[in-house]
Structure 1
Amino acid sequence: MFDELVLPERAELRKERDGSSVLSLNLRLPWYRALPLSCVNELELAIDGTPIAPDDVTIGVGDGFHSLAEVQSLDNTWWFQLDTAEARIPNKNGVQPGEHTVAISLGLRIPYRADPSDEPEFTQTAEYTRSVRFEGGDL
Protein backbone atom coordinates (compact mmCIF):
# COMPACT_ATOMS: atom_id res chain seq x y z
CA MET A 1 0.00 0.00 0.00
CA PHE A 2 1.39 3.42 -1.04
CA ASP A 3 4.81 1.92 -1.93
CA GLU A 4 5.56 4.62 -4.50
CA LEU A 5 5.14 7.37 -1.87
CA VAL A 6 7.84 6.02 0.45
CA LEU A 7 10.86 7.43 -1.37
CA PRO A 8 11.07 10.95 -2.81
CA GLU A 9 12.78 11.91 -6.05
CA ARG A 10 15.42 14.00 -4.26
CA ALA A 11 17.88 13.31 -1.46
CA GLU A 12 20.74 15.20 0.12
CA LEU A 13 24.49 14.73 0.36
CA ARG A 14 26.08 16.77 3.11
CA LYS A 15 29.07 17.10 5.37
CA GLU A 16 28.63 16.67 9.08
CA ARG A 17 30.44 18.84 11.61
CA ASP A 18 33.10 16.16 12.00
CA GLY A 19 33.84 16.36 8.27
CA SER A 20 32.22 13.04 7.34
CA SER A 21 29.92 12.79 4.35
CA VAL A 22 26.39 11.47 4.86
CA LEU A 23 23.44 10.63 2.67
CA SER A 24 20.06 11.86 3.84
CA LEU A 25 16.89 10.25 2.50
CA ASN A 26 13.47 11.50 3.48
CA LEU A 27 11.00 8.65 3.88
CA ARG A 28 7.22 8.73 4.01
CA LEU A 29 5.10 6.29 5.98
CA PRO A 30 3.49 3.77 3.60
CA TRP A 31 0.41 3.31 5.76
CA TYR A 32 -2.84 5.18 6.24
CA ARG A 33 -2.52 5.64 10.03
CA ALA A 34 0.19 6.87 12.37
CA LEU A 35 2.38 4.16 13.90
CA PRO A 36 4.85 4.05 16.77
CA LEU A 37 8.41 4.00 15.47
CA SER A 38 8.78 0.60 17.17
CA CYS A 39 6.59 -0.80 14.37
CA VAL A 40 9.45 -0.41 11.88
CA ASN A 41 10.79 -3.96 11.81
CA GLU A 42 12.80 -3.76 8.58
CA LEU A 43 14.58 -1.05 6.64
CA GLU A 44 16.76 -2.24 3.80
CA LEU A 45 18.36 0.20 1.39
CA ALA A 46 20.55 -0.20 -1.68
CA ILE A 47 22.11 2.54 -3.79
CA ASP A 48 23.09 1.68 -7.35
CA GLY A 49 22.71 -2.00 -6.47
CA THR A 50 25.02 -1.84 -3.43
CA PRO A 51 23.22 -2.82 -0.20
CA ILE A 52 23.62 -0.54 2.80
CA ALA A 53 24.51 -2.36 6.03
CA PRO A 54 21.61 -2.04 8.51
CA ASP A 55 24.06 -0.99 11.23
CA ASP A 56 24.98 2.05 9.11
CA VAL A 57 21.42 3.39 8.98
CA THR A 58 19.92 5.74 11.56
CA ILE A 59 16.36 6.97 11.38
CA GLY A 60 14.96 10.19 12.77
CA VAL A 61 11.37 11.09 13.48
CA GLY A 62 10.71 13.92 15.86
CA ASP A 63 13.03 13.46 18.83
CA GLY A 64 16.35 12.57 17.22
CA PHE A 65 18.15 9.78 15.41
CA HIS A 66 18.15 6.14 16.38
CA SER A 67 19.78 2.97 15.09
CA LEU A 68 17.45 0.36 13.66
CA ALA A 69 18.05 -1.76 16.77
CA GLU A 70 17.02 1.14 19.05
CA VAL A 71 13.84 1.77 17.05
CA GLN A 72 12.34 -1.48 18.36
CA SER A 73 11.90 0.07 21.82
CA LEU A 74 10.40 3.41 20.74
CA ASP A 75 6.75 2.79 21.54
CA ASN A 76 6.12 6.45 22.40
CA THR A 77 7.74 8.03 19.35
CA TRP A 78 5.10 8.29 16.65
CA TRP A 79 5.53 8.46 12.89
CA PHE A 80 2.50 10.32 11.60
CA GLN A 81 1.38 9.80 8.02
CA LEU A 82 2.09 13.44 7.07
CA ASP A 83 5.53 13.45 8.73
CA THR A 84 8.77 12.70 6.98
CA ALA A 85 11.33 10.42 8.59
CA GLU A 86 14.98 10.97 7.74
CA ALA A 87 17.28 8.03 7.11
CA ARG A 88 20.97 8.94 7.49
CA ILE A 89 23.69 6.80 5.99
CA PRO A 90 27.46 7.37 6.06
CA ASN A 91 28.66 7.94 2.51
CA LYS A 92 31.17 5.07 2.61
CA ASN A 93 30.78 4.31 -1.08
CA GLY A 94 31.51 7.84 -2.26
CA VAL A 95 28.12 8.62 -3.78
CA GLN A 96 28.43 11.84 -5.78
CA PRO A 97 25.72 14.40 -6.58
CA GLY A 98 23.46 13.33 -9.41
CA GLU A 99 21.01 10.57 -10.29
CA HIS A 100 21.30 7.22 -8.50
CA THR A 101 19.05 4.20 -8.30
CA VAL A 102 17.75 3.70 -4.77
CA ALA A 103 15.88 0.58 -3.66
CA ILE A 104 14.04 0.42 -0.35
CA SER A 105 12.24 -2.27 1.56
CA LEU A 106 10.40 -0.93 4.58
CA GLY A 107 8.65 -3.48 6.76
CA LEU A 108 6.04 -2.43 9.30
CA ARG A 109 4.35 -4.37 12.08
CA ILE A 110 0.72 -3.24 12.17
CA PRO A 111 -0.67 -3.32 15.74
CA TYR A 112 -4.41 -3.84 15.43
CA ARG A 113 -4.97 -5.73 18.66
CA ALA A 114 -4.16 -4.76 22.23
CA ASP A 115 -3.12 -8.36 22.94
CA PRO A 116 -0.81 -9.57 20.14
CA SER A 117 -1.40 -13.20 21.16
CA ASP A 118 -4.98 -12.93 19.84
CA GLU A 119 -3.94 -13.44 16.24
CA PRO A 120 -0.85 -13.72 14.05
CA GLU A 121 1.16 -10.54 13.62
CA PHE A 122 0.15 -8.46 10.61
CA THR A 123 2.96 -6.86 8.63
CA GLN A 124 3.09 -4.56 5.64
CA THR A 125 6.20 -4.31 3.49
CA ALA A 126 6.70 -1.49 1.02
CA GLU A 127 9.26 -2.16 -1.70
CA TYR A 128 10.14 0.46 -4.23
CA THR A 129 12.98 1.34 -6.58
CA ARG A 130 13.38 4.70 -8.27
CA SER A 131 15.90 7.15 -9.61
CA VAL A 132 16.77 9.66 -6.89
CA ARG A 133 18.68 12.86 -7.46
CA PHE A 134 21.26 13.42 -4.71
CA GLU A 135 21.97 17.10 -4.21
CA GLY A 136 24.70 18.69 -2.18
CA GLY A 137 27.86 20.58 -2.54
CA ASP A 138 31.38 20.89 -1.20
CA LEU A 139 31.79 17.17 -0.70
Structure 2
Amino acid sequence: MGFSMRINFVDVICDDSLRNSYINGLKNGYEFDIRLSYYRGLFLSCVNSFALTVDGEEVPNSEVTFSINGKEFFVDQLSSLSSEFWKLLEPAKIKVLKKGGLPKGSHNLKLDFYLRVPYLPLPGGDSDHNYVPLDSCGEKELIIEEIGGE
Protein backbone atom coordinates (compact mmCIF):
# COMPACT_ATOMS: atom_id res chain seq x y z
CA MET A 1 0.00 0.00 0.00
CA GLY A 2 1.65 3.22 -1.11
CA PHE A 3 -0.87 5.71 0.26
CA SER A 4 -3.20 5.96 3.23
CA MET A 5 -5.20 8.72 4.82
CA ARG A 6 -4.73 9.47 8.54
CA ILE A 7 -7.02 11.70 10.57
CA ASN A 8 -6.22 11.84 14.29
CA PHE A 9 -9.37 13.11 15.98
CA VAL A 10 -8.91 10.81 18.99
CA ASP A 11 -6.44 8.22 20.19
CA VAL A 12 -7.58 4.89 18.80
CA ILE A 13 -6.78 3.00 22.03
CA CYS A 14 -8.83 4.46 24.89
CA ASP A 15 -7.10 5.55 28.09
CA ASP A 16 -7.77 3.59 31.30
CA SER A 17 -9.71 0.85 29.50
CA LEU A 18 -7.37 -2.15 29.97
CA ARG A 19 -8.63 -4.75 32.44
CA ASN A 20 -8.57 -8.48 32.91
CA SER A 21 -11.75 -10.41 32.11
CA TYR A 22 -13.13 -13.23 34.23
CA ILE A 23 -15.39 -16.26 33.81
CA ASN A 24 -16.52 -18.03 36.99
CA GLY A 25 -13.96 -16.06 38.98
CA LEU A 26 -11.01 -17.13 36.82
CA LYS A 27 -9.01 -14.80 34.57
CA ASN A 28 -9.67 -15.88 31.01
CA GLY A 29 -8.17 -12.90 29.18
CA TYR A 30 -8.16 -9.14 28.99
CA GLU A 31 -10.06 -6.37 27.23
CA PHE A 32 -9.74 -2.73 26.23
CA ASP A 33 -11.65 -0.15 24.20
CA ILE A 34 -10.85 1.45 20.86
CA ARG A 35 -12.39 4.46 19.14
CA LEU A 36 -12.93 5.25 15.50
CA SER A 37 -10.39 7.92 14.55
CA TYR A 38 -12.41 9.41 11.73
CA TYR A 39 -15.07 12.07 11.26
CA ARG A 40 -17.96 9.64 10.64
CA GLY A 41 -19.05 6.10 11.43
CA LEU A 42 -18.31 3.16 9.14
CA PHE A 43 -19.65 -0.32 8.49
CA LEU A 44 -17.52 -3.14 9.89
CA SER A 45 -17.12 -4.50 6.36
CA CYS A 46 -14.78 -1.53 5.81
CA VAL A 47 -12.12 -3.18 8.00
CA ASN A 48 -9.17 -4.08 5.76
CA SER A 49 -6.78 -5.39 8.40
CA PHE A 50 -6.46 -5.81 12.16
CA ALA A 51 -3.34 -6.93 14.00
CA LEU A 52 -2.74 -6.61 17.73
CA THR A 53 0.63 -6.80 19.48
CA VAL A 54 0.80 -6.75 23.28
CA ASP A 55 4.13 -6.35 25.06
CA GLY A 56 5.94 -7.20 21.81
CA GLU A 57 4.00 -10.43 21.24
CA GLU A 58 1.62 -10.65 18.28
CA VAL A 59 -1.84 -11.88 19.28
CA PRO A 60 -3.46 -14.32 16.81
CA ASN A 61 -6.75 -12.96 15.41
CA SER A 62 -8.40 -16.26 16.36
CA GLU A 63 -8.05 -15.16 20.02
CA VAL A 64 -9.48 -11.64 19.53
CA THR A 65 -13.11 -10.49 19.45
CA PHE A 66 -14.57 -7.09 18.53
CA SER A 67 -17.80 -5.95 20.23
CA ILE A 68 -20.20 -3.17 19.23
CA ASN A 69 -23.98 -2.74 19.23
CA GLY A 70 -24.29 -5.41 21.94
CA LYS A 71 -22.78 -8.02 19.58
CA GLU A 72 -19.43 -9.80 19.63
CA PHE A 73 -17.55 -10.93 16.52
CA PHE A 74 -14.23 -12.58 15.81
CA VAL A 75 -11.87 -10.17 14.07
CA ASP A 76 -11.71 -12.34 10.95
CA GLN A 77 -15.49 -11.92 10.51
CA LEU A 78 -15.42 -8.13 10.32
CA SER A 79 -14.86 -7.77 6.56
CA SER A 80 -18.14 -9.60 5.86
CA LEU A 81 -20.33 -7.56 8.25
CA SER A 82 -21.91 -5.11 5.82
CA SER A 83 -24.94 -4.42 8.05
CA GLU A 84 -23.08 -3.70 11.33
CA PHE A 85 -22.45 0.02 11.66
CA TRP A 86 -19.78 1.38 14.02
CA LYS A 87 -21.09 4.70 15.31
CA LEU A 88 -18.57 7.49 15.56
CA LEU A 89 -18.84 8.10 19.30
CA GLU A 90 -19.27 4.46 20.38
CA PRO A 91 -16.09 2.72 21.52
CA ALA A 92 -15.63 -0.89 20.47
CA LYS A 93 -14.52 -3.41 23.07
CA ILE A 94 -11.60 -5.63 22.08
CA LYS A 95 -11.44 -8.90 24.05
CA VAL A 96 -8.47 -11.25 24.01
CA LEU A 97 -8.71 -14.85 25.18
CA LYS A 98 -5.62 -15.60 27.26
CA LYS A 99 -5.61 -17.97 30.20
CA GLY A 100 -4.49 -16.02 33.27
CA GLY A 101 -5.01 -12.61 31.62
CA LEU A 102 -2.25 -10.03 32.00
CA PRO A 103 -0.21 -9.38 35.14
CA LYS A 104 -0.68 -6.20 37.16
CA GLY A 105 1.34 -3.29 35.77
CA SER A 106 2.06 -1.44 32.54
CA HIS A 107 1.49 -3.06 29.13
CA ASN A 108 2.27 -1.83 25.61
CA LEU A 109 -0.64 -2.25 23.18
CA LYS A 110 0.05 -1.74 19.49
CA LEU A 111 -2.83 -1.92 17.02
CA ASP A 112 -2.24 -2.08 13.26
CA PHE A 113 -5.74 -1.26 12.06
CA TYR A 114 -6.65 -0.20 8.52
CA LEU A 115 -10.11 0.59 7.19
CA ARG A 116 -11.24 1.64 3.74
CA VAL A 117 -13.38 4.66 2.97
CA PRO A 118 -16.23 3.22 0.86
CA TYR A 119 -17.14 6.49 -0.85
CA LEU A 120 -13.60 7.49 -1.92
CA PRO A 121 -12.32 5.44 -4.87
CA LEU A 122 -8.55 5.27 -5.04
CA PRO A 123 -7.30 7.51 -7.86
CA GLY A 124 -5.67 5.44 -10.58
CA GLY A 125 -6.97 2.20 -9.07
CA ASP A 126 -7.08 -0.74 -11.45
CA SER A 127 -10.31 -2.14 -10.01
CA ASP A 128 -13.80 -1.02 -9.00
CA HIS A 129 -12.99 -2.23 -5.48
CA ASN A 130 -9.97 -0.05 -4.64
CA TYR A 131 -10.82 2.58 -2.05
CA VAL A 132 -8.74 5.04 -0.05
CA PRO A 133 -7.26 3.23 2.98
CA LEU A 134 -7.68 4.85 6.38
CA ASP A 135 -4.78 4.40 8.78
CA SER A 136 -6.33 3.86 12.23
CA CYS A 137 -3.23 2.43 13.87
CA GLY A 138 -2.37 3.27 17.45
CA GLU A 139 0.06 2.41 20.21
CA LYS A 140 -0.29 3.12 23.90
CA GLU A 141 0.96 2.07 27.33
CA LEU A 142 -1.95 1.09 29.58
CA ILE A 143 -1.92 -0.11 33.18
CA ILE A 144 -3.81 -2.97 34.80
CA GLU A 145 -4.42 -2.37 38.48
CA GLU A 146 -5.88 -5.33 40.33
CA ILE A 147 -8.70 -4.06 42.54
CA GLY A 148 -10.41 -5.85 45.41
CA GLY A 149 -10.75 -9.60 44.85
CA GLU A 150 -9.49 -9.59 41.27
> TM-score under structure 2 normalisation?
0.79
Structure showing greater radius of gyration is 2
Shift of 1:93: 7.2
Q: CA-atom RMSD, angstroms?
A: 2.5
Amino acid at match of 2:8: F
Structure 2 contact 28–100 (Cα < 8 Å) conserved: no
Where do 1:112-123 residues align within 5 Å?
112=119, 118=128, 120-123=130-133
AA paired with 2:85?
W
> Where does residue 2 of structure 1 map in the other structure?
8
Give the structure 1 partner of residue 134 of structure 2: 124
SS across alignment from 2:62: helix
1:107 aligns with 2:117: no
Amino acid in the other structure paired with 1:129: E
12-21 vs 33-42, which deviates more?
Answer: 12-21
Distance in 2 separating the partners of 1:135 and 1:50: 21
Partner of 1:44: 51
Question: For the residues of structure 1 that align with 2:129 and 2:79, how far apart are their CA atoms?
Answer: 20
Listed as ranges, the gaps of 5+ residues in structure 2 are 1-6
Give % identity: 23
Where relative contact order (Cα < 8 A, 6+ residues apart) is larger, the structure is 1
- Check 1:4–1:104 CA distance in 2 against 1; reply closer, same or farther (3 A cut): farther
Contact 1:47 1:102 in 2 (8 A): yes
CA–CA distance in 1 between the matches of 2:116 and 2:25? 35
CA 1:82–1:4: 2 relative to 1, 3 Å? closer
Aligned pair count? 138
Distance 1:44 1:129, change over 3 A: same
